[in-house]
Structure 1
Amino acid sequence: MSNAPLFSLDPASFAADPYPILARMRHEAPIAYVPELDATLLTRRDDIHREEKRIEVFSSRQPDGLMTRLMGENMMRKDGADHQAERRALFPALSPRTVAQHWAPVFEASARRILADLAPRGSCDLVTDYAMPVSASALIAITGLAEMSCTEMDRVSQHMIDGCANYTGDAGVEARCHAATALIDSHIDRAFASPAPMSALAVQQEAGLPMDSLRANIKLVISGGQNEPRDAIAGIAWALLTHPDQLQRIRRGQNSWQEAFAEYARWISPIGMSPRIVAREDQVGAVRFDPGDRVFLMFSSAGRDEAHFDRPEDFDITRDTAAAIPFGAGPHFCAGAAAARCLITQVALPLLFESLPGLRLTGPVPFRGWAFRGPTAMPVAW
């Protein structure tokens, strides 16, 4: 087992707000074993950026890991040639060109329809009434699971990521995750005979992927493609509404929606970490790792590393975010990054502020989570 120093934390406090604890870890124990999570956490940006790429040591393949046991062995839980083969099979559905030419008009049509229904109401919960259906509609199109409702998509994604972060072994969380994956499989079965063109289902079929890989990768796309864009859309809107001077910079053309997204993903990472398993004995600095050790690469901590970011706890869309790694930095760089950027920065945010004049917060906006983090409610009016 790793000889990393011990760092104990309260899981409830960590879920409520991980950033003060991560700041302490960067300062006191940047590589530390946390018994409550049964994992060794890497919290400094340079360590994460370097070690993530050493897949021969810090492997993504985790046959006994939560994601594999609950969702199947998807491409994110494979390394080397196996990972690249499945990534290439999925790429035609998620490439920047496909996103720009095929998906962007679909995203815009859905967002405009949702906003047209919302506008007469004068108020809503921006998480559940806008960010959720915008994200879900996009994901239904990309996956090809055309009969799934937005509510179903949001629910199965949440229950899967809850399952993948269920390090305390809650039986109810695991049961909900199993129900979610069964529902997804039923939708895959219904759509399999005539998948929508360019969908993740269609391109994997065309590539001839085995059915278990196809199913697992669809679940991966859902687990990484619903909650994170949903949370980023609502979270960025909240950040700009609570920093009106920065919203005005975007409206005046001094900064872009893309810069707001990049800064928000640095500041409050929708995906806070990536798990790895140590494949062979190795050492990082003075810390030794043994085969089988569980390691968490804390992307959320990397985004607030004082060695790279001045005033890292502040939201500032004018800063240089090049050192941030919210999508990862190695061979497992998020395959859906182009789709997420398009949906959030070209469609969801500009249309939101264009369509609902006078948009304002009307109540508190609670956040929760450390492995995945986002607002749980966002009351607004316009």
Structure 2
Amino acid sequence: MSNAPVFEIDPKAFWSDPYPDLAKMRATAPIAFVPQLGATLITRRNDIFENEKKIDVFSSDQPNGLMTVLMGQNMMRKDGAAHQAERRAIFPTVSPKTVQNVWKSKFEAATSDILSRLHPRGTADVVADIARPISGEALKAMTGLTNMTWQEMDRVSQGMIDGCANYAGDPQVEARCHDCTASIDAHISARKAALINAPDHSLLSVMMQAGLTDHQISANVKLAISGGQNEPRDAIAGAVWALLTHDDQLAAIRNGGATWLAAFEEYARWMSPIGMSPRRVAKSHNANGVAFQPEDRVFLMFSSGNRDSECFANPDAFDIFQDVSKAISFGAGPHFCAGAWASKCLIAEVALPMIFEHFKGLELAGDAPFGGWAFRGPLQVPVRWQV
């Protein structure tokens, strides 16, 4: 185990709001061992930015990690040539060109249908009624699992997310995760014949065309679902809430003084839907006076780095006018999120502008509680609008 200073947390309070503890760690113990998480946390932005690139020390290859055990070894849990080979194989699905030429129109069509059906109601929960189906329909198209409902897409994604964050070892959480991964495998098997006869730009199709093994295909589709449903869902709902609670910034966007992209990127910095990324220490290493030992578990705390006062002028506030160029919301090293372009398109070019355009007089209709630290988002965002 590393010799980092020990920092104790209350797990329930940390899940409810990790930011006070993370601020204390940055100030007093920027690299700290948290016994309740069984990991050493790196909390300052520049330390994360520097060390994430040291894959020979802080390895993504984690044979005993929850993601690998529960979902299979995907490209996110590989380093070097093995990681790059699978990343290249999926690039035809997630490239900026494909996102604009193939996926954007599908995002727009699905979002328009969802919002049009909701409009007569005059009220909704942004999380459950708007963001979940928008994210789910987008992911159905991109993965190629068009035989799956958006409701099932959301269920299996949440089940895997819960499983990957199940550091307490809850057997019921693990069982739900296994049920969800089995559902994904069944849907993959049912789609393969059609994609052999009519290949397309979907993730499943391009991996089949690239000759990846069944194991690689299964693991990487699960990775895409675990990251491609919950994080866009949480970012859409959270950004809507943030703009509705910052009228001046919403007005600036509507008046052309700011952009939807700025709102999304600032929200992703401020509330970090992906709060951390785990690493396994591959060899002895010293960093900032802390001696790491092989097999230590390390958490790169993106959420903490994104609120580092050394890097951001107004770190604890939602401020779309501040410089977010140092944000590490999508990672900082070779594992920079492959879906970043699709995420920006779905949220900043489609979901946010269409939601505010469709629903005139959109306003909050109740409290919006948040939860999570490894993955964080609003639990509900009740709204109403003019009918």
Taking structure 2 as the reference length, the TM-score comes to 0.98
Q: Which runs of 5 or more structure 2 residues have no equivalent in the other structure?
A: none
Q: Do the aligned partners of 2:314 and 2:322 also contact (CA within 8 Å) in 1?
A: no
Q: Do the aligned partners of 2:275 and 2:374 also contact (CA within 8 Å) in 1?
A: yes
Tell me how far apart the structure 2 counterparts of residues 161 and 334 of structure 1 sit (CA, whole Å).
16
Deviation at 1:310? 2.2
Alignment of 1:145-156 (within 5 A): 145-156=145-156
Partner of residue 297, structure 1? 300
Partner of residue 16, structure 2? 16
Q: Deviations along 1:54-93, whole A, 9 cap, x unmatched?
A: 0000000001100000000000000000000000001100
Tell me how far apart the structure 2 counterparts of residues 211 and 273 of structure 1 sit (CA, whole Å).
29
Q: Deviations along 1:6-42, whole A, 9 cap, x unmatched?
A: 1110110000000011000000100000000000000
Partner of residue 137, structure 2? 137
Q: Which runs of 5 or more structure 1 residues have no equivalent in the other structure?
A: none
Tell me how far apart the structure 2 counterparts of residues 277 and 69 of structure 1 sit (CA, whole Å).
14
Deviation at 1:312? 1.0
Partner of residue 96, structure 1? 96
Partner of residue 321, structure 2? 318
SS in 2 for 1:277: strand
Partner of residue 220, structure 1? 223
Alignment of 1:99-248 (within 5 A): 99-195=99-195, 197-248=200-251
Aligned identity (percent) is 62
Partner of residue 373, structure 2? 370
Q: Do the aligned partners of 2:14 and 2:21 also contact (CA within 8 Å) in 1?
A: yes
Deviation at 1:231? 0.3
Tell me how far apart the structure 1 counterparts of residues 194 and 261 of structure 2 sit (CA, whole Å).
35
Match for 1:95: what amino acid?
S
Deviation at 1:164? 0.2
Q: Do the aligned partners of 2:33 and 2:41 also contact (CA within 8 Å) in 1?
A: yes
Tell me how far apart the structure 2 counterparts of residues 312 and 334 of structure 1 sit (CA, whole Å).
22
SS in 2 for 1:6: coil
Tell me how far apart the structure 1 counterparts of residues 255 and 368 of structure 2 sit (CA, whole Å).
27
Match for 1:297: what amino acid?
L
SS in 1 for 2:194: coil
Match for 2:373: what amino acid?
W
Q: Does 1:306 align with 2:309?
A: yes
SS in 2 for 1:54: coil
Partner of residue 249, structure 1? 252
Tell me how far apart the structure 2 counterparts of residues 194 and 268 of structure 1 sit (CA, whole Å).
40
Q: Which moved more, 1:301-310 or 1:223-232?
A: 301-310
Tell me how far apart the structure 2 counterparts of residues 215 and 25 of structure 1 sit (CA, whole Å).
38
Partner of residue 334, structure 2? 331
Moved runs in structure 1, 4+ residues, more than 3 A? none
Partner of residue 50, structure 2? 50
Q: Which moved more, 1:193-202 or 1:345-354?
A: 193-202
Deviation at 1:311? 2.7
Deviation at 1:285? 1.4
Tell me how far apart the structure 2 counterparts of residues 152 and 252 of structure 1 sit (CA, whole Å).
39
Match for 1:68: what amino acid?
T
Q: Deviations along 1:227-275, whole A, 9 cap, x unmatched?
A: 0000000000000000010000000000000000111011000000000
RMSD: 0.6
Q: Do the aligned partners of 2:43 and 2:305 also contact (CA within 8 Å) in 1?
A: yes
Deviation at 1:175? 0.5
Match for 1:82: what amino acid?
A
Match for 1:201: what amino acid?
L
Match for 1:312: what amino acid?
P
Tell me how far apart the structure 1 counterparts of residues 314 and 201 of structure 2 sit (CA, whole Å).
43
Count of residue pairs brought into register by the alignment = 382
Match for 1:103: what amino acid?
W
Tell me how far apart the structure 2 counterparts of residues 19 and 283 of structure 1 sit (CA, whole Å).
26
Match for 1:48: what amino acid?
I
Q: Does 1:354 align with 2:353?
A: no
Q: Do the aligned partners of 2:282 and 2:295 also contact (CA within 8 Å) in 1?
A: yes
Tell me how far apart the structure 2 counterparts of residues 155 and 353 of structure 1 sit (CA, whole Å).
27
Match for 2:234: what amino acid?
D
Match for 2:315: what amino acid?
P
Taking structure 1 as the reference length, the TM-score comes to 0.99
SS in 2 for 1:296: strand
Aligned residue among 260, 264, 281 for 2:263: 260
Partner of residue 38, structure 1? 38
Q: Deviations along 1:122-163, whole A, 9 cap, x unmatched?
A: 001111110000000000000001110011000100010100
Q: Which moved more, 1:190-199 or 1:360-369?
A: 190-199
SS in 2 for 1:283: strand
Deviation at 1:309? 1.3
Tell me how far apart the structure 1 counterparts of residues 191 and 157 of structure 2 sit (CA, whole Å).
18
Q: Deviations along 1:97-137, whole A, 9 cap, x unmatched?
A: 00000000000000000011011110011111100000000
